[in-house]
Chain A
Amino acid sequence: MNQLLSEPAKIELRHVTHLYVTTTRAFMAVKDINLRVAEGEFICLVGPSGCGKTTLLSLIAGLEKPTAGKILIDGRPVEGTSRQVGYMLQQDFLFNWRTIEENIFLGLDIQGIRSRETEAYALHLLEEMELADVRKAYPAQLSGGMRQRVALVRTLACQPDILLLDEPFSALDYQTKLKLEDLIFSTLRRHKKTAVLVTHDLSESIAMGDRVYILARNPGRIRSEVAVPPAIRDALPFEARNRPGFHELFHQVWKEMEVVTDAAT
């Protein structure tokens, strides 16, 4: 029992500070960030632009090393990128010269784990996204929403336990965005992934997340944390927006954001 209690968090940031150094100055992107994400949890980071949201994702992904502090995944310090962590960008960035099929096998090729089984798994994911019929097509033939779904499959094909989502819906039109939110939400739940979503959209963060962190800028730091009640967080994002209590929560987060934005300007 004791062992269970002391089990390490899936993702843990301890006093993480990161600086960017240019020729003109050294600039503090994030300062003294502490956060824990439990296995299977979905957390959201919101905040004004320049508050270091994307920096945090790059650090967790191992693309950059924090200037100070520790980042642990399953209790082990992060050293460079790993198979365990998947990353989804604002746009799909599919490779135009590869077919959809070859695009979703990209990670398998890179990690040298392409085999009949892993290919079958990737194609199964493609089917789940209702894209099985475009596997031989090229990215240019697909709509924005379809392309972002392919990008999700590309990320999930490597079977990461953690998914980092960097505003993956911001380049889509509103309807597509709502549908894709539901799809990604349910896919991640079904596959029991731990997720960190960065977004500008407050209602999206409440609808999708179990917890929402509000960040302030100059330097980027955690201003406050809002827990989303079970009634809202268990519903699909589209549904969640109509649940009682959603609007109150939205206003609470909105107010926090106002404070953060005013303080910075």
Chain B
Amino acid sequence: MPPTSPSALYLFLHGLWQRFGLPESVWLVLWAVIVAAVILAFVLLTVLILVWVERKVAADIQSRLGPARVGTRFGLLQTAADAFKLLLKEDIIPACADKPLFVVAPFVVFVPAFLAYLVIPFGDRLIAQDLDLGVLYVVAVSALPALGFLMAGWGSNNKYSVIGGMRAVAQLMTYEIPLGLALLAVVVSVGSLSTVDIVEHQRRVWHIASPPLLIAFIVYFICALAEVNRIPFDLPEAEAELVAGYHTEYSGMRWAIFFMGEYGYLFFVCAFGVTLFLGGWHGPFLPPVLWFLIKTYALILVSMWIRWTFPRLRIDQIMRFGWKVLVPVALVNLVWAGFWFVR
């Protein structure tokens, strides 16, 4: 499907295609493949960068050096080297595992993270697909990884994995609800589900400046941390309790795909938070894409800061917090937002 408001690059390439008189149907497929490839490349690159950033941030907080050997004294190539190593590792599938589930699970976790990038406006008209139902699409897609966690937990035929998988599902389902309610507050104020419209609405003032949406942002960010399974919500893979939770039995590249899903999703939830609450790509002087990345990385750094500072909650505390605190707060806030924006 061609973009509704095509960018200059699209028009140029499409014009070139038409000049050679090539069929339009092939162009549509080709364009979709190009977009998918670009997003995939972006996700993979982002994951490499994020892992490096996380290591450096963690090292800094913990007063150590972090990667400092491979690729200059800042260890810039460390994650690339690690990825290469993981590629070469033996592919181990436990003898008693449910093989199809075990093999497919990492992709069920990774693909939704990748799909979610479709509706993020990185800059002016720099969006893969401006869907009318962008926000709804994100909610739908972000519910999918739970299935992958459960498949991995069950398929591994390992008790720790099962518990990890069950925890992941319980946690994701719980936090999906306040997350959706927080998103609805934004939708109420904008009157559209399209991410492009939402960013456009913040041309002059960021959403976070209005009180109901500030609360919505806080709820969103907490839920986002829970969705990406990071401390204090890293219950599904709580090392001290469950060894590694649902990916206990995974190694090599399959494990790396889980990892990529996790970090890809981390970038996504922060980018989506920026889109909804922090003005998207709007900002003075600097180019839009740069503004977008700066804001997103700022949010990511906050999540890393939290991860390396806080202890881990217990499963019942997490559920209680989700149902008894976040859901009511998000609900009341939604009602309040309704009054606030209708006035």
A is bound by B:
no
